[in-house]
Copies of this chain bind each other. A is one copy, B any other.
């Protein structure tokens, strides 16, 4: 049971955009270089993020992508759900198990929604100086 790289890379991509939030558009090419990822693959990840309204694109030379909201308004859950689809633990559940899977789903979402992009950007910038994980 594990998250696919799609969700992981998507979060990494969004953190990268978050690092430059307020400094104008960031090209996928530059993200690809910084994060050692394929630009083409990033295209496939950013498309759904754009459709979901998490990023905005600016076309043309010196264009790129910017976060569509402030980093503190975007949770990791928002990103993961867009890229991994809804956290459906199981499709056709047995009656006795339905509520259990539902509780699992909810608890995952609660954790993922408890961390914002802002939290992760700060963590990356200041390296473990924040308190969010000491709760």
The interface of chain A, by Cβ under 8 A from chain B, is 1-4, 7-8, 11-12, 15, 76, 80, 84-85, 87-91, 93-94, 96-97, 99-101, 103-104, 107-108, 110-112, 115, 120, 123-124, 133
- A and B contact pairs by CB, cutoff 8 A, 28 listed: A1-B3, A1-B4, A1-B80, A1-B84, A1-B108, A2-B88, A2-B89, A2-B90, A2-B91, A3-B90, A3-B101, A8-B94, A11-B97, A12-B94, A15-B96, A76-B100, A96-B120, A96-B124, A100-B111, A100-B112, A100-B115, A103-B133, A104-B108, A104-B111, A107-B107, A107-B108, A107-B111, A108-B108
Known A1-B85, A85-B1: A120·B108 in contact at CB below 8 Å: no
